[in-house]
Amino acid sequence: MDFLAEFLQANMTMIYVLILAIYLGLELISKVPTVLHTPLMSGSNAISGVVVIGAIILVRSVESNDYLALSLGFVGCTLGMINVVGGHAVTNRMLEMFKKRK
């Protein structure tokens, strides 16, 4: 309880960021038409690949002889990158049909 209060006060700004971001997340797509459900899912899934950033930082910060960490990190980077790149690519394909005819 007390610990919680502490914590709250310490990270209040952070919490604001959270709340605002969450609300924004909801607000942004609240009016998406059904057709876009899948593309949107795929797109945001690609974004969820941000974890790759974590992987990168991780690999950068471990000693270059700690092979376990490195290889795990390597795997992480690869997987994350697949998620990111593949995700966006797939999304883009899904959205082909929305090319404007002129």
Residues binding a second copy (CB under 8 A): 13-14, 16-17, 20-21, 23-24, 27-28
Helix (H/G/I), strand (E/B), else coil: 11: coil
**Binding to other proteins in span 58-97, by CB under 8 A:** 58-64, 68-70, 72-95, 97
Residue 23 in tokens: 């609300």
- Pair 40, 29: CB distance under 8 Å: yes
Helix (H/G/I), strand (E/B), else coil: 1: coil
Site string for other proteins, 2-41 (x = CB under 8 A): --xxxxxx--xx-xxxxxxxxxxxxxxxxxxxxxxxxxxx
Kindly tell me which of 18 and 75 has the beta carbon lying closer to a second copy: 18
